[in-house]
Amino acid sequence: MMESSSTQSVISPARVNLLGEHVDYNDGPVLPVAIDLSMTLTFEPLDEDIIELHALDLGKTSTIRIEDLEDKVDIDSEPLEHFALYPASVAWALKQAGFSIAGMRAVYTSDIPIGAGLSSSAAVEVGFARAFMALGGWDAEMMTLVKLTKKGENEYVGVNSGIMDQFACLFGRENHALYLDTKDLSWEALPLPQDVVIIVADSNISRKLAGSAYNARQQACTDAVNKLREFLPGISSLRDVPVEGFKKYKDQLPTEVRLRAQHVVEEITRVQKAVPLLKEGNIEGFGELMIAGHASLRDLYEVSLPELDSLVEIAIEQPGCYGARLTGAGFGGCTVNLVQEEKSVEFILALKAGYERRTGKVAKIYPCRATQGAHLVPKASLNM
């Protein structure tokens, strides 16, 4: 057991994205929510300059010398296992930025399903960032931690993700969605109705983000910008492409690139339309945008699967369901559903039964609430 007066704990939530998928690496706005599935990280200082990791759910441990972070090797000079890359990436990015990294023993566990698209990796990253800050005795703006944890995931782990995941896991607010403009990093919290439950349905099809077609989609967006810049010289990303401008010049793009870009341009518009709807409490209108977003992810961005489509189709047939769509990168993972609270039990039963009937697979269903971002809980203890 890890228990001393110097022991602290961080609770770091998962996130689910309600709207604005595959737009964060195109400078677009997104609407994520931090949800009450979470990683709990209990940590204490060590006298040595090492980071000792105990991932309880995986039954794995790793010890890393702080001076060896750049080399991505453990204390025995063996390459870091995949699970250890994420905490190490945070220490590496913080150290590169000039922040001191103190020796730490870290024990962590999570009820966030891995590989389901709920940002289990970002929860680990921002949780460790909060822990390193607490142990190092320094302070940093939360947005700085977001940028540095993203840098670690991009450059150290090698996943070309955008900034949304780390932002949502760190900035989450109870009973609110978060509007983040990834171009200028302005943001605001938008209220969610008290009588609406966020229900996440895990298709039970795991996806590997780094090995998926995620990077290919990102490249298609870059190709679209490079071509459209011939006609719209002021653009630097798809965020800068107006809908009318896209319609005018879309036929100049190769078919696949055109489809990818069309999703992004139209999805950005959906997010912009969603903001006033949430402020007015118009959850019906917001749900319609979610459903349209799923169709676009299925037909234009082509990141859905028959199982995800089945979950969405079954969901929107149920009483009390306002909206449903795949969430995360796609290629497996989860759907997100906004459901009237009083109909939520019947919804879950119908969704689970319908999915098994259609696909022969069992969906894991998680009723969730919007919760606060990664935060310290002092003087905790956790069995190792």
Distances in Å between the Cα of 251 and the Cα atoms of 233, 259, 269, 296 are: 17, 10, 20, 18
If DSSP codes are grouped into helix, strand and coil, which group holds residue 10? Answer: strand
Helix (H) or strand (E) holding 43: strand 29-45
Torsion of CA 142, 146, 149, 155, to 10 degrees: -140
Active site residues: 165
Tell me which of 215 and 261 has the higher pLDDT.
261
Instruction: Look at residue 4 in the predicted model and tell me its pLDDT.
Output: 55
Closest CA to 178 of 94, 39, 97, 274: 274
Cβ-in-10-Å burial (0-12, 13-18, 19+) of 56 comes to middle
Per 3-state DSSP, what percentage of the chain is helix, strand, and coil (rounded to 5)?
A: 45, 25, 30
Q: What pLDDT digit, counting tens, does each position of 274-320 carry?
A: 999 999 999 999 999 999 999 999 999 999 999 999 999 999 999 99
Domains annotated for the chain, with CATH where assigned, are 8-190+371-378 (3.30.230.10), 192-368 (3.30.70.890)
Instruction: Look at residue 382 in the predicted model and tell me its pLDDT.
Output: 44
Helices 164-171 and 120-136 sit at what angle, rounded to 10 degrees?
A: 60
DSSP label at residue 293: H
Q: What pLDDT digit, counting tens, does each position of 20-36 carry?
A: 999 988 999 999 999 99
Lowest-confidence segment of 109-123, 137-151, 369-383 by average pLDDT:
369-383
| Residue where the block lists tokens 């896209």 | 246
Band (213; pLDDT cuts 50, 70, 90): confident
Instruction: Look at residue 209 in the predicted model and tell me its pLDDT.
Output: 52
pTM flag (> 0.95): no
Lowest-confidence segment of 22-26, 100-104, 126-130, 153-157 by average pLDDT:
22-26
Cβ-in-10-Å burial (0-12, 13-18, 19+) of 310 comes to buried
Closest CA to 103 of 34, 53, 165: 53
Mean pLDDT of the chain: 94
Q: Is the pLDDT of residue 263 over 90?
A: yes
Q: What pLDDT digit, counting tens, does each position of 243-254 carry?
A: 999 999 999 999
Instruction: Look at residue 162 in the predicted model and tell me its pLDDT.
Output: 80
- Strands 29-45 and 8-19 come out as antiparallel
